[in-house]
Amino acid sequence: MKKAHRIALKPTPEQEVWFGQQAGYARFAYNWALGEFKAGLDVGDWLTERTLRPRWNKIKSMIAPWGAELSQNVAKYAIIDLGQATAGWGEYRRKVKSGQRTDRRVGFPRFKRRTHEQGFRADNGPDTVRADGKVVILPKIGQVAMVEALRFPGSIQEVTINRTAGTWFACFCIEDGQEPPPVKAGPTIGVDVGVGTMATCSDGLTVENPRALYSGLKRLRRLDNAIARSRNVHGKTQQSDRRESLYVNRRRLHARIVNVRNDNHHKATTAIAKSAGRVVVESLNVAGMVRNRRLARAIADAGMSGFLTKLEYKCRWYGAEYAKADRWFASSKLCARCGWRNDDLTLADRGWWCGGCGVLNDRDANAAKNLANWPGLSFPVFRHRRMETV
C-alpha cells in the first residue's frame, strides 16, 4: 500500500534560500509549459507533457540560464504536473460535451504566482531520498532536519517540498510493500455527515464539528480590512512591510483553520474505521451543495469531502469495507423502526414524529441507522397511504 506523511522541516537559512530557488524554477517551467499549451490550443494542437519536455530541454539554457545550477528534475516534474492537469481538464470537457454526468468540476489550469505557489518535487525517482531518524537526505542539498521521524517504514517513492504559512514541509509518498488487510469481522456502522454535527454514527458515536473557520472569522475579517486599507492608502503595487506582516498573519490563520479541521477529521475517521467491519456513507454531491449561497460557508467549514476521503482510505488501511449508499436513498425521511416515509421533511426539521409507529426520530441518528441497513431494509416502506417495498 502507498501511504503519505507530511512533516515540517527545520532548514538552515542557506537551505531555505535553496528551497525558494527550486520552487521558483518549478514555477517558471510550469508557466512556460502552460503558455505553450495555450498557444497550441489556439492553432488546434493538443500538446502533451511528452511533447513539451523536449521543447523545454532545447530552450531552457536560453530562457532560464540561471537554472543551470539547480536540479533539472524540478522542471521536469513541473511539466509533468501540468500534463496531468490538462489531461484532467480535457477528460472533464469531453464528458460535458457528451452529456455524461460528472460530480466534480475541473477548471482550466492557471498560471502560478510567486506569492502563492511555493513547492517542487525534490526526488530524482524512487529510492533517491533517504530518511534517517529526524533527518531527510535530499539530492543536491544533503541533510535537512525534520521535526519528527518518518512514521511509516518502506520505500520512499516521491518527496514534495512545499511552503505553508512560512513553514517548509516535506510530503513523503511511501510504498510499504504490504497488501491491504482482508475485511475484518465487525459491526456495520452507518455514518450520516452533516454541518451542525460532523458525523453521526449508528452505534451512537457523534463527532462534533469544530467550526474552525467560524471561530477565526472575526480575526480574519479584521486582517482583510487592514490589508484593504493599506492597499487603498499606499496603492496595490507599492511595497509595505506592515502589509507584508498582515499577509503573514493571514496565512498563519488560514493554516491554523486547516490544521484544526484536519485534526478533527483524522481522529474521528480513525476511530470509526478501527471499530467497524463495514462502513456505509451517503453519496454526497458536495460541489452542488456549496452552490447554495446560504449554506456554502457552513458546508465548506465542515469539510465533508475531506472527511469522507479520509474515512475511505482508512477503512482500506484497517480492513473495514467501505460502501456508498445510493444518492437517492431517502435515509433521513424513512423511519428506521417501521419504515414509514415522511415526504414533508424539511432541512430545518431536526426531529420528526413517525406517522406509522409514533416514535420521535432524531434526524441524524435515524439517517445513520437507515444507512447501516442499506441496501435492503427488513420492513416495507410506507409513503403516506401507499406501501412500497424496498
Nine cell digits for residue 6: 507530511
Q: Which residue has the cell 524512487?
A: 126
Question: Which one of 324, 350, 371 terminates a domain?
Answer: 324
State whether 287 and 358 are in the same domain: no
The mean pLDDT value for 23-37 works out to 95
Report the half-sphere exposure of 340 (CA within 13 A, side-chain side): 17
> For residue 387, what pLDDT is reported?
32
Examine residue 18 and state whether it is found in any structural domain, yes or no: yes
> What confidence tier does 20 reach under pLDDT thresholds 50, 70, 90?
very high
198 and 260 both lie in a single domain? yes
**Rounded CA separation 105/88 (Å):** 10
Overall pTM surpassing 0.85 (yes/no)? no
Question: Could you read off the pLDDT of 57-95 as tens digits, one per residue?
Answer: 999 999 999 999 999 999 999 999 999 999 999 999 998
Q: 168 with 205, same domain?
A: no
Domain holding 377, by residue range, is: 340-388
CB atoms within 10 A of CB 164: 17
Is residue 294 included in any domain, yes or no?
yes
Report how far Cα 275 is from the mean position of its chain's Cα atoms.
Answer: 24
Q: Are residues 49 and 114 in the same domain?
A: yes
Average pLDDT estimate for 120-140: 90
- Asked if residue 258 belongs to a domain, the reply is yes
Q: Are residues 144 and 253 in the same domain?
A: no
**Mean pLDDT value across residues 27-52:** 94
Please tell me the distance from the alpha carbon of residue 174 to that of residue 159, in angstroms, as a whole number: 9
Q: What is the rounded CA–CA span in Å between residue 234 and residue 217?
A: 26
Domain count, the chain: 3
Half-sphere exposure of 254 (CA within 13 A, CB side): 12
Q: Is 325 a residue whose pLDDT tops 50?
A: yes
Residue 225 included in any domain: no
Give the sheet arrangement for strand 2-10, strand by strand.
119-121, 155-164, 167-175, 2-10, 142-146, 135-138, 130-132
